Amino acid sequence: MAPGADSFDPLNVPTYTYADAAWYLGLSASTVRAWARGTTYRASDGGQRSFEPVIELPNPRVSLLSFTNMVELHVLSAIRRQHSISLPKVRQALDWVQREFDTPHPLARLEFRTDGVDIFLDVFGQLLAVSGASGQLALREVVEAYLQRIERDERGIEARLYSFTRTGVGERSLLDEPKVVVIDPRVSFGRPVLVGTGIPTAVLAERYKAGESIEDLAADFHCPSEKIHAAIRCELHLAA
């Protein structure tokens, strides 16, 4: 049985709502829902067309995403940051990757850090008509910035996902974004926590909303104030 195939594996437990995924990954809820459940759209001839989901939920009867699904959405969102990509094109690319590598959840499971990056860029770059060296370079920078936020175990399986905590960051600054908040399916039921502490970001955000200052929270948790601020941004989307 492939790693993560067991429904009791924490990587594969239905945990996150579409709203959770949208909030933590900086996507729209409608995009998450369409990628998870499929969608219908109006074709050029005026007729209705349907589109199959681009990720596989752990339980089709339950509208909840697994940690592995979160990683898949995270990788796909790298493309959305650089280009507008239609669902049919996403499906076409994923079908090719699935056939070539014969692995479940290929976007999460394939090792993209070496030759896989080139495969990813070749497939999506051609489908998105990324032209010229500058277009490929910009796409590569975004993809690599996103992939570096996925931590894998000794088997190469996705183990942790480090959230982006700032909005409106220039694409070239993504590689410099600090890893302050992590989503780990084995810690705090998979909810975002402050790296190295296990403190849920939701707890910090609630105390902040209740009137406690960032400085007070930093003192209570013996943590630098900039990390507390970043953790709160993850929950409340405050300005950087």
User: Residues 117-135: pLDDT tens digits?
Assistant: 454 555 555 544 443 444 4
Length of the chain: 240
Contact criterion met (CB below 8 Å) for 186 and 10: yes
HSE-up (13 A, CA, CB side) for residue 19:
1
Give the integer Cα–Cα distance in Å for 72 and 66: 10
HSE-up (13 A, CA, CB side) for residue 159:
7
Structure tokens that stand for 30 in this block:
């409608």
Does the pLDDT of residue 4 top 50, yes or no?
A: no
Q: Where in the chain are the domains?
A: 1-147, 160-240
- CATH topology for 160-240 is Arc Repressor Mutant, subunit A (1.10.10)
Q: What percent of the chain shows pLDDT beyond 70?
A: 72
Structure tokens that stand for 160 in this block:
């942790």
Q: pTM score, two decimals?
A: 0.79
pLDDT band at 103 (very low <50, low <70, confident <90, very high): confident
148 secondary structure, DSSP code: T
- pLDDT confidence of residue 80: 66
- pLDDT confidence of residue 83: 56
Q: What percent of the chain shows pLDDT beyond 90?
A: 39
- Write the single-letter amino acid at 215: E
User: pLDDT (tens digit, 9 = 90+) per residue, 52-63?
Assistant: 888 899 998 999
Mean pLDDT of all residues belonging to the chain: 78
Does the pLDDT of residue 48 top 90, yes or no?
A: no
Give the integer Cα–Cα distance in Å for 124 and 57: 23
- pLDDT confidence of residue 139: 60
- pLDDT confidence of residue 223: 92
Residue tagged 């067991």 (tokens):
6
